[in-house]
Chain A
Amino acid sequence: MWPKQHAEEAPASCAWTQDRLLGYLDGDLAPRETQRLRAHLDGCPACQQELALCRKSERLLATALSTAPPAGDLRSGFYARLAASSPSPRRAARSGWIAASALAGVILVTVLFVPRFHPSSRSAAVVTAIPLPSAPIADRRRDLAFFLAALPSPAPVASRSEPHVSEPRSAAARYTAARIAHRLPGRARWQAAFRRAPLTLARADRLQPPGTHATETIDVVQREAKTRNQVALLTAKTVPENTPTARLIPADDEVDFSVRDDVRGFTAGSHVSSLPAAPNGDHVLIIEEKSDSLPASAGDRSRSAD
Chain B
Amino acid sequence: MSREACAVGWDARMNGERAGTADDDSSLVARFLRGDSAAFDTLFLRYQDYVYHIIYGIVGSAEEARDLTQEVFLQVYRALPGFRQGARFATWLYRIAVNRAVDAARGARRWRFLPLLDEPSLAQRAAAPEDEPAYRFERDEERSAVQRVLMRCPLQHREVLALRYYRGLSLEEMAETLGCSVTAAKVRLHRARKVFKDNYLAAHGTDAPEELATENADVAQTTR
A interface residues (Cβ-Cβ under 8 A, vs B): 1, 22-23, 25-28, 38, 41-42, 45, 48-49, 51-65, 67-69, 71-72, 74-75, 77-78, 81-82, 85, 89-90, 92-93, 182, 185-189, 191-192, 195-196, 224, 231, 252, 255, 257-258, 260-263, 274-279, 281
Contact = CB atoms under 8 A, between A and B. Distances in A.
What interface size band does chain B fall in? 35 or more
A276 B110 CA distance: 12
A49 B197 CA distance: 12
Q: For chain B, what secondary structure do more than half of its interface residues adopt (helix, strand, loop), or is it mixed?
A: helix
Contact of A189 (B67, B135, B150, B223): B67
Given A57-B196, A279-B117, A77 B70 contact: yes
26 contacts: A25-B2, A25-B4, A26-B5, A57-B201, A58-B197, A61-B146, A63-B7, A64-B144, A64-B146, A65-B166, A67-B145, A69-B56, A71-B66, A74-B70, A78-B44, A78-B70, A182-B134, A187-B134, A191-B111, A192-B64, A252-B107, A258-B113, A263-B115, A274-B115, A277-B117, A279-B117
A187 B138 CA distance: 9
B136 A71 contact: no
Given A41-B219, A42-B223, A185-B67, 12 more contacts: A1-B183, A22-B197, A64-B161, A67-B145, A71-B52, A75-B48, A186-B63, A187-B135, A188-B108, A188-B137, A191-B107, A224-B117
A48 B146 contact: no
A25 to B, nearest CB: 5
Contacts, number: 232
Contacts of B219: 41, 48, 51-52, 55
Q: For chain A, what secondary structure do more than half of its interface residues adopt (helix, strand, loop), or is it mixed?
A: helix
Contacts of B61: 188
B172 interface: no
Nearest to A181: B134
A234 B169 CA distance: 46
Given A27-B2, A277-B118, A61 B161 contact: yes
Interface in B147-177: 147, 149-150, 161, 165-166, 168
B105 to A, nearest CB: 11
